[in-house]
């Protein structure tokens, strides 16, 4: 990298990341490399959130960043996720790995070696101009982003959560780190009509102080560019709620 390029990188604002994830009451998010549920309205919410670009944003696109295992959990006919720049993170690199994984920059999919490299790529001229960037999983990438919170290249600013109240999906084998205090957990449980004495709370490790705050219904609608369902959704006997959380400074 030339000195000029280094200076430009140093002046650039870190890329703002939004993690989007569906989780159970105990923050379970996957089992055996797959999603434990199949919810078409939840999928539609994911598609809309990650695809929509604000009015007056010209030819900008959104980007989705994911780990190699999440990429491979998407059926080949649905990847890359269309209308979005797809960035896959792996320790494998080179043309051979791209070929094996079905990744092709001509079709808006890219292979990079770290979250920092993903953010740098999206801030460069190698991709279309980006409106919003979503971290779409999986467990390893969410954990890294939530533990580091920010780097020179990116900053994790929002969490778009689908909270699955029931059933418990106890078979989950990968989890999101807890991001709420015990009062915030109790508020979520109260909203879902679940008593505070239910055992799920005991399985979580609440934060001692608030790091994230729940956006109001109005802020959530504004973020989505239209009304979002704020109640409890029911689909195939699964009850869930859409939420948006902002990182406190
Ligand atoms: N509930 C939800 O909303 C949701 C969303 C997405 C995924 N999921 C679920 O999450 C599970 C997959 O999560 P996972 O944690 O097993 O896998 P993952 O995070 O999708 O991918 C892990 C892989 O990413 C690469 N990677 C991770 N950190 C890296 C780093 N710092 N530098 C370079 N490469 C790195 C490595 O690839 P290499 O091994 O190639 O080096 C690693 O094996 C599945 O069950 C999936 O269905 C759930």
Q: Which domains does the chain have, with CATH numbers?
A: 13-247 (3.40.430.10)
Number of Cβ within 10 Å of residue 128's Cβ equals 15
Q: What is the DSSP string of 85-109?
A: EEEEE-S--SHHHHHHHT--GGGTE
What is the rounded distance in angstroms from the CA atom of residue 165 to the CA atom of residue 162?
A: 9
The reported pLDDT for the residue numbered 77 is 94
Output the six-digit token pair for 94. 């080179």
Contact present, 178 and 205 (Cβ < 8 Å): yes
Residue of 139, 162, 238 to test ligand 1 pocket, by largest number of atoms within 8 Å of CB? 139
Q: Is the minimum distance from the CB of 26 to ligand 1 under 6 angstroms?
A: no
Say whether pTM exceeds 0.75: yes
- The helix-helix angle for 139-148 and 115-122 (nearest 10°) equals 80
Contact present, 26 and 189 (Cβ < 8 Å): no
What's the CA-to-centroid distance between 209 and ligand 1, angstroms?
Answer: 28
- pLDDT greater than 80 at residue 55: yes
Mean pLDDT estimate for the chain: 92
Output the six-digit token pair for 12. 């650039």
Residues with Cβ within 8 Å of 182's Cβ and at least 6 positions away in sequence, in order, are 201, 206
> Which residues pair with residue 154 across a beta bridge?
15
- Which letter does DSSP use for residue 37 in this model? -
The closest alpha carbon to 31, from 177, 171, 200, 178, belongs to: 171
What's the CA-to-centroid distance between 145 and ligand 1, angstroms?
Answer: 12
The reported pLDDT for the residue numbered 198 is 64
Output the six-digit token pair for 50. 């990650």
Helices (H), the chain: 3-11, 40-51, 68-73, 95-101, 115-122, 139-148, 182-191, 217-224
Residues with Cβ within 8 Å of 160's Cβ and at least 6 positions away in sequence, in order, are 18, 19, 20, 21, 49, 134, 242, 243, 244, 245
- pLDDT greater than 80 at residue 196: no
Q: Distance from CA of residue 150 to its chain's centroid?
A: 15
What's the CA-to-centroid distance between 134 and ligand 1, angstroms?
Answer: 14
Contact present, 159 and 43 (Cβ < 8 Å): no
- Widest Cα–Cα separation across the chain: 60
Mean pLDDT of 234-249: 95
Q: Is the minimum distance from the CB of 21 to ligand 1 under 6 angstroms?
A: yes
φ and ψ at residue 200, rounded to 5 degrees: -55, -40
Mean pLDDT of 106-127: 94
What is the rounded distance in angstroms from the CA atom of residue 171 to the CA atom of residue 183?
A: 26
The reported pLDDT for the residue numbered 153 is 96
Mean pLDDT of 144-171: 96
Mean pLDDT of 176-203: 84
Catalytic residues: 35, 42
* Bigger pLDDT: 198 vs 120: 120
φ and ψ at residue 122, rounded to 5 degrees: -70, -20
């Amino acid at each position: 990298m030339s000195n000029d390029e280094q200076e430009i990188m140093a002046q650039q604002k870190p890329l703002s990341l939004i993690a989007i994830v569906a989780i159970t009451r105990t923050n379970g998010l996957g089992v055996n490399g797959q999603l434990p549920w199949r919810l078409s309205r939840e999928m539609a919410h994911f598609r809309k959130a990650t695809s929509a670009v604000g009015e007056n944003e010209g030819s900008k696109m959104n980007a989705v960043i994911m780990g190699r295992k999440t990429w491979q959990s998407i059926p080949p006919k649905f990847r890359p996720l269309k209308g979005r720049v797809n960035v896959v993170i792996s320790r494998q690199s080179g043309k051979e790995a791209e070929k094996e994984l079905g990744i092709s920059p001509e079709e808006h999919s890219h292979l990079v070696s770290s979250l920092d490299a993903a953010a740098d790529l999206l801030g460069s001229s190698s991709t279309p101009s980006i409106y919003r960037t979503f971290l779409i999983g999986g467990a390893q990438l969410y954990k890294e982003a939530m533990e580091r919170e920010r780097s020179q290249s990116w900053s994790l600013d929002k969490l778009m959560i689908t909270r699955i109240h029931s059933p418990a999906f106890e078979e989950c084998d990968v989890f999101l780190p807890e991001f709420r205090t015990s009062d915030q957990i109790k508020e979520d449980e109260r909203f879902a009509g679940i008593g505070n004495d239910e055992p799920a709370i005991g399985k979580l490790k609440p934060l001692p102080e608030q790091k994230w705050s729940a956006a109001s219904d109005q802020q959530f609608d504004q973020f989505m560019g239209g009304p979002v369902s704020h109640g409890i959704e029911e689909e195939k006997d699964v009850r869930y709620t859409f939420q948006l959380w902002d990182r406190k400074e």
